[in-house]
Structure 1
Amino acid sequence: MNTNDLKIFEAVAVTGSFTKAAAAMFTVQSNVTARIKSLEEEFGAELFSRTSRKVELTSSGKILMHYCKQIGSLVADAKSSIQSNTKISGSLKIGCIETTMALKVPEILNHFEEKFPDVELEFKSQMRNALIDDVLNFNLDAAFVSGPINVSGLEHIKVKEEQLVILTASQGPEIGELLAKKHVKIVVFGEGCIFRTRLESWLSSKGIVHYKNTVLNSIEGIINFVEAGLGISILPEEVVSRYYAGRKLTKYALNKQLGTMNTVMIYRSDKIQSGALRAFIDLYFHAGKGSDIGDRFFS
């Protein structure tokens, strides 16, 4: 067995097809079949269940897939560390929620590239649970998500505490009048968004369980819809004040429980950190224990 065998195995698992895996790996199907057979003989277990229509991982295959991701990550880190020697290089995949992606990533990227120009940063925006899964499954090196976090296998570092506010159109009815309507309208991100969850919890605390959702995928879109009177929403107060101060919006404070959001950075606790990941952590979060160290770059 070699690392290329594992890459072929992963290609079959991802594509669900020996033919497609062969094309992805620039080889022939017979070689893919032979390499998978060799792996199954070596591990003494069937790795794929094969039918005329599809190829799927068996329970043994799923276990090997988990380790494949770790092996691939370790090999990439080893190459990066050996090749860099005296300088930090390699690549990092960082995940974040939409507000961080749109408003903070350019600042993070510029500052990091100034100090470590040989490190390639790749950012991915997703919902919180998807980001956590991607870090656990080695698809991301780290991610910025809302806390608290208590997931086995993950470490976290506090980045910033933010205050959330309810938003309405300043030229429309006040919040009390909007909530009294038969069908309350809300403007939110998709399922799994922390802001949407908080808004729905707030409405529930007001005895409102029926409302009409307008789902958007950008902060700008949410701001535009709220300003036009198409619904209420919830966003970090700092985001609204700093980037949308001139918009016709009214902000309403929330209680501490619903209105406080802690952003944390998560990364695997059992993963050998590459030089690039250590540099990323050290640069942004090296301040004293217990301090709100994220304020330096998230304020």
Structure 2
Amino acid sequence: MNTNDLKIFEAVASTGSFTKAAAAMFTVQSNVTARIKSLEEEFGAELISRTSRKVELTVSGKTLLQYCKQIGQLVAEAKSNVQNTDKVGGTLRIGCIETTMALKAPEILNYFQQHYPDVELEFKSQMRQVLIGEVLNFDLDAAFVSAPVNVAGLDQIRIKEEQLIILTAGGGPKLEELLAKHPVKIVTFGQGCIFRARLESWLSSKGIIQYKSTELNSIEGIVNFVEAGLGISILPQEVISKYYAGRKIVSHRLSKLLGTMTTVLVFRKDKLQSGALRVFINTYRQHINVENRPASG
């Protein structure tokens, strides 16, 4: 077995096809078939279930795929660290929920461009549970998500506490009037979004269990729809004050329980960390230490 065999196996897993895997790996299908058979003989287990219509990983195949990802990362990190012992480089894949992407991605990029110009940052926006799963599955190095996170295998650093606010259209009906309508109209991200969950909890606390939701996939879209009077929503106060202060929307405070959201940075405990990931994590650890340092004098 060599690392190329594992890459061929990963290609079959990702494409779901021996033919497509061969094209992706610039080889022929017969070689892909031979390499997969060789891996199955070496591991003593069927890795891929073959039918006339599709190719699927077996339980053993799914287990091997996780190791393939780890091995691929370790090889890439070894090359980077051996070739560049005097500087921090490589690629970091960072996940964010939509609002954290808007607030923190520019700040992170600026910092790393100044201090670690050889580190390439890749950002991905997704729902909270998807991001956590991708960190566990080695598809992301770390992710900014909302707390609490109690998942075996993950470590975390508290980043910041945010205040959430209810948003309504400026010049439109008062919030109490909007809540009295049936059904109440809300504008949110899709299922699995922390903001949607908070909004639904807030409505439930007011005895409202029926509402009509409009799902959008961007902050800009949500603000536009709220401003147009198409529903109420919930977003971090900092996002609104920083990017949408001039818009015709009205903010409404929430209770501390529902209105406070803590963002944490999660990463794997058991992963041999690259130099880039170590400096990324340490950047936030140092920031927290400075924040909590007692004032002198």
Which residue in the other structure is 1:151 paired with?
A: 151
Deviation of 1:275 (Å):
0.5
Q: Distance in 2 between matches of 1:280 and 1:182?
A: 48
Secondary structure at 1:286 match in 2: helix
Question: What does residue 95 of structure 2 align with?
Answer: 95
Q: 1:296 matched to which residue of 2?
A: none
d(CA) in 2 for partners of 1:41, 1:206: 62
Question: TM (normalized to structure 2)?
Answer: 0.95
Shift of 1:25: 0.6
- CA distance in 2 between counterparts of 1:130 and 1:73 reads 20
SS of corresponding position for 2:162: strand
SS in 1 for 2:231: coil
1:143 and 1:218 mapped to 2: Cα distance? 19
Aligned to 2:28: 28
Q: Matched residues in 2 for 1:273 and 1:143: separation? A: 15
Q: Tell me which residue corresponds to 2:281.
A: 281
Q: CA deviation at 1:287?
A: 3.8
- How much does 1:209 deviate? 1.2
CA drift of 1:78 comes to 1.4
Change (3 A) 1:158 1:288: closer
- The answer as to whether partners of 2:90 and 2:276 remain within 8 angstroms in 1 is yes
Ranges of 4+ aligned residues in structure 1 off by more than 6 Å: none
Could you tell me the TM-score, scaled by structure 1's length?
Answer: 0.95
Deviations 1:3-33 (A, max 9, x none): 1100101111111111111001110011101
Aligned to 1:160: 160
Q: Please state if 1:136 is matched with 2:133.
A: no
Task: Please say if residues 168 and 175 of structure 2, whose CA atoms lie closer than 8 Å, have aligned partners that are also in contact.
Answer: yes
Aligned pair in 2 of structure 1 residues 259, 290: CA closer, same or farther (>3 Å)?
farther
1:65 matched residue in structure 2: 65
Query: Within the alignment, does 1:126 sit opposite 2:126 as a pair?
Result: yes
Percent identical residues: 73
Separation of aligned partners in 1, 2:139 and 2:178: 43
Matching residue's letter, 1:261: M
1:185 and 2:185 aligned: yes
Aligned Cα root-mean-square deviation (Å) = 1.4
* Residue number in structure 2 paired with 1:247: 247
For 1:297, the equivalent position in structure 2 comes to none
Question: What corresponds to 2:262 in structure 1?
Answer: 262
User: Whole-Å Cα distance in 1 between the matches of residues 22 and 274 of structure 2?
Assistant: 31
CA contact (8 A) 2:96 2:126 kept: yes
For residue 292 of structure 1, report the CA deviation from its aligned partner. Answer: 6.3
Contact in 1 for aligned 2:157/2:284 (Cα 8 Å): no
Whole-angstrom CA distance in 2 between matches of 1:184 and 1:113: 46
Q: 1:18: which partner in 2?
A: 18
CA contact (8 A) 2:163 2:259 kept: yes
1:14-57, Cα deviation, whole Å (9 max, x unpaired): 11111111001110011101100110110111111111111111
- How many pairs were matched up? 293
| CA-to-aligned-CA distance 1:115-146 (integer Å, 9 cap, x gap) | 11111100000000010011000000011000
Are the aligned partners of 2:159 and 2:288 in contact in 1 as well (CA < 8 Å)?
A: no
